[in-house]
Amino acid sequence: MKKVLVVMGSDSDLKVMEKCVDRLKSFDIPTEVRICSAHRTPAAAEQLAKNAAAEGFGVIIAAAGKAAHLGGVLAAYTTLPVIGVPMATSVMGGMDSLLSIVQMPKGIPVATVAIDGADNAAILAAQMIALSDDALAQKLAQFKADMAAEVTAKDEKVRA
Ligand code: RP5
């Protein structure tokens, strides 16, 4: 199975991104977590992205805040799909991160989830890996069925 590379710009992003790592692990997807900054360690970011496909990764998840260019920089150096997770920030609440990630100029897309959308990033990455993994696709189908059952159970409870 292809692996998922989870990169974050700072260890201050770890608390939010733990949800992403936990979700990937719940699907038994091999995951590697790295801290790498597009502006503080740009050479390392370049190497990480350039080597990712050869190292067996199928998707990169990039979490960053403020002028959040990590996902865009990684995407510049690979043809792997990159999912950006905008981190909430103290000054603009994460709108700065969101717009920095989602407004990529044409040619270098970064698939963007919600502010602090760590869980959805993991699910989206799992869906991408599942394109070539039937067992994982089955796990995702079960995950959706379980979610639906939970909502139905709550509906039945309020109607009772
Ligand atoms: C970004 O700046 C990081 O991704 C983080 O979200 C934000 C703040 O980083 P620290 O100053 O806490 O290291 O690069």
The tens digit of pLDDT for each residue in 90-135 reads: 999 999 999 999 999 999 999 999 999 999 999 999 999 999 999 9
Which DSSP symbol is given to 130? G
Cα–Cα distance for residue pair 22/18, rounded to 1 Å? 6
Q: Give the pLDDT confidence score for residue 29 in this predicted structure.
A: 98
Gap from CA of 153 to ligand 1 centroid (Å): 40
Q: How far is the CA of 134 from the centre of ligand 1 (A)?
A: 37
Q: What is the pLDDT of residues 84-100, one digit of tens each?
A: 999 999 999 999 999 99
Q: CATH no. for residue 132?
A: 3.40.50.1970
d(Cα 86, Cα 114) in Å, to the nearest integer?
7
pLDDT at residue number 61: 99
Domain count, the chain: 1
CA atoms of 57 and 34, how far apart (whole Å): 13
Average the pLDDT over 139-145 and give the result: 98
Measured CA to CA, the distance from residue 140 to residue 136 in angstroms comes to: 6
Name the residue range of residue 125's domain. 3-159
| 13 Cα nearest atom in ligand 1 | 6
